[in-house]
Amino acid sequence: MAQVTLRKVIKKYDEVLAVRGVDLDIADKEFIVLVGPSGCGKSTTLRMIAGLEEISGGDIAIGGDVVNDVPPKDRDIAMVFQNYALYPHMNVYENMSFGLKLKRTPRQEIERRVKQAAQILDITELLDRKPKQLSGGQRQRVAMGRAIVRDPKVFLFDEPLSNLDAKLRVQMRTEIKKVHQKVRTTTVYVTHDQVEAMTLADRVVVMNAGLIEQVGSPHDLYHSPNTKFVAGFIGSPAMNFIPCQVEQAAGALRLRLNDKLAMPVPASRTNRYSSVVGKPNLVLGLRPEHIMETRPHTESDQHDFEVPIEVVEPMGMETLVYFTINGTEVCGRINPNAGGVAGQPMKLRADLSNMHLIDDTTGKVL
């Protein structure tokens, strides 16, 4: 069993707190992704698990054993780096087998493991090549193969795809997911790309300023964010945040966005939002896909409104339209055939069954 447990883990550089008391439980064979903006502490946390950074406080356990003072080579982990870290004078086979040779693994066992890993990663025909003869994607597969042959308790990935072009990133993302399905090993993966996080993870850990904002499945983080930060970080294009007020209206509630535009609050949320009627600093959170063109049939909790379109971005299978409400830029996703034209008014529809009401003072989703 290879659970990874972090308890009140702190990392301090002089007077700067990079990681501020992180608590995290990673189950055996789970694929966890740490995601967040630059400087949030995700790579530092990974490096502390690896033993490449000393912890300033707290405990890290792997397989139930506290490893605070255990050197990296004795933690039974394998790490895949952003820059591949391959030996240029060795061929692929030698790079993949080097760690096993250092451990004096029998030659037959080394050969078996390398061939098995090469088969999983589809690099069998590359075993005799040097790194300079490989593409970026092939080098990354070799780096993954070197980790797989060690059969470690835990795989650690530190932004492994950030050096690849967009098309190759998508391809390698799929490869990493396939590898995890074949080699069920506890995996901790760091990225700043929320699309990578959502597509790869069993659970996503969203970090901000050295703290964990929220931990959950990709579905939970997307549809039920706890904070404005998580709501805005997860999803592309990002969630719209529109200043609003909640008003009483004939026994129901409505969202006042400006002098001319107000929308009814879904009846299912009346009790939840009744305590914030008239409260300042409220924000309506609505994802672009929940602002669409008007359609013949209106479902409950959908509200039509008209605004002048400022920018139109055709994306092929969809079109993004941008407009302004009270000085705030808002993005909607419409059908390419819906006829959005920059500089022209357009009737749109807001699906408020998917709305989030946020207290902008605390950043909490109500």
Return the residue matching tokens 């939002």.
273
Instruction: Write down the pLDDT at residue 340.
Output: 84
- Same domain? For 122 and 181 the reply is yes
Q: What Å distances lie between residue 342 and 278, 291, 322, 348, CA to CA? A: 35, 17, 9, 14
Percentage of residues of the chain with pLDDT beyond 90? 66
* Residue 235 belongs to some domain of the structure: no
Residues 6 or more apart whose Cβ sits within 8 Å of residue 176: 144, 157, 160, 189, 200
Q: Using CA atoms, how far apart are residues 345 and 341, in angstroms rounded to an integer?
A: 8
Query: Among residues 226, 253, 272, which one ends one of the domains?
Result: 226
* Length of the chain in terms of residues written: 366
Instruction: Write down the pLDDT at residue 1.
Output: 62
- Same domain? For 247 and 205 the reply is no
Return the residue matching tokens 């895949």.
80
Instruction: Write down the pLDDT at residue 75.
Output: 92
- Same domain? For 150 and 198 the reply is yes
- Same domain? For 193 and 275 the reply is no
Query: Among residues 198, 226, 254, which one ends one of the domains?
Result: 226
pLDDT at 239 over 70: yes
Instruction: Write down the pLDDT at residue 136.
Output: 83
* Residue 46 belongs to some domain of the structure: yes
- Same domain? For 309 and 213 the reply is no
What distance, in Å, lies between the first and last C-alpha atoms of the chain? Answer: 39
Rg of the Cα trace of the chain?
Answer: 25
* Residue 233 belongs to some domain of the structure: no
Domain containing residue 161: CATH number: 3.40.50.300
Mean pLDDT over 286-294 rounds to 95
Between 102 and 314, residue with greater pLDDT: 314
Which two structure tokens, joined as six digits, stand for 280?
Answer: 């300042």
Q: Is 277 left (phi over 0), alpha (psi -120 to 50) or beta?
A: beta
Amino acid letter, 238: A
* Residue 232 belongs to some domain of the structure: no
pLDDT at 220 over 80: yes
- Same domain? For 209 and 71 the reply is yes
Domains of the chain: total: 2
For the chain, give the mean pLDDT. 91
* Residue 234 belongs to some domain of the structure: no
Summarize pLDDT for 9-48 with one digit per residue, the tens: 999 998 889 999 999 999 999 999 999 998 899 999 999 9
User: 155: domain range?
Assistant: 4-226
- Same domain? For 185 and 291 the reply is no
Q: Are 231 and 357 in contact (CB under 8 A)?
A: no
Residues 6 or more apart whose Cβ sits within 8 Å of residue 120: 145, 148, 179, 182, 183
* Residue 316 belongs to some domain of the structure: yes
Instruction: Write down the pLDDT at residue 114.
Output: 92
Summarize pLDDT for 111-142 with one digit per residue, the tens: 999 998 898 888 899 999 999 999 888 888 89
Instruction: Write down the pLDDT at residue 358.
Output: 96
- Same domain? For 258 and 222 the reply is no
Q: Using CA atoms, how far apart are residues 309 and 324, in angstroms rounded to an integer?
A: 8
- pLDDT-based confidence at 212, cuts 50/70/90? very high
Percentage of residues of the chain with pLDDT beyond 70? 100
- Same domain? For 310 and 250 the reply is yes
Query: Among residues 174, 196, 226, which one ends one of the domains?
Result: 226
Domain containing residue 339: CATH number: 2.40.50.140
- Same domain? For 69 and 218 the reply is yes
* Residue 320 belongs to some domain of the structure: yes
- Same domain? For 212 and 258 the reply is no
Q: Using CA atoms, how far apart are residues 217 and 335, in angstroms rounded to an integer?
A: 29
* Residue 342 belongs to some domain of the structure: yes
Summarize pLDDT for 62-96 with one digit per residue, the tens: 999 999 999 998 999 998 887 778 889 999 999 99
> Lowest-confidence range among 6-10, 163-167, 210-214, 226-230?
163-167
With CA atoms as reference, report the closest residue to 12 among 60, 68, 56, 58.
56
- Same domain? For 36 and 126 the reply is yes
